[in-house]
Structure formats: structure tokens, C-alpha cells
Amino acid sequence: CARRGGKGRGDGLVVAARADDGIIEAMEMPGKTFVFATQFHPEQLVNTGYTAYRAVFSRLCEEAGLYRERNGR
């Protein structure tokens, strides 16, 4: 939740990186195939010209498609 400022975490998530001010910058979820957590909305930045954002959103879409194939949804 953006209002929490990355200071908390969900069940099963492990903090992987923090900024100097203590804000969580990255999280992992051991034992899961793909977990994605950001402090921004990559889908809103896809057409801004920043290729890193496009790669992040493309990977999310790719994983969503794989999930759909595996689970028939």
C-alpha cells in the first residue's frame, strides 16, 4: 500500500532492500515462482520512453499469461 510508504510487508514477504530512510525498496517471497512488488505503478509509465519501466510491465504481463495457461483462467 503506497500510503504505508513501504514500511510494512505482507505475510510471507521478506524484505530484500531498504533505502537509507528505511523505506522498503524490494521484497521477495521464498518458494514462489514469481512475486512482483513496486513502490510505483509501472503500467502508468509504459509509454513514457523509459525502457526499464516497459520491461517491468512486459514481464508482469508475461507472467500473468503463464499463470492463466497453468490455471485455465
Helix H or strand E segment including 66? helix 51-71
pTM exceeds cut of 0.75 = no
Q: pLDDT per residue over 6-47, tens digit each?
A: 555 678 888 888 888 888 877 888 888 788 776 666 667 667
Q: Which of 23, 22, 26 is nearest to 35 (CA)?
A: 26
**Predicted confidence (pLDDT) at residue 1 exceeds the cutoff of 70:** no
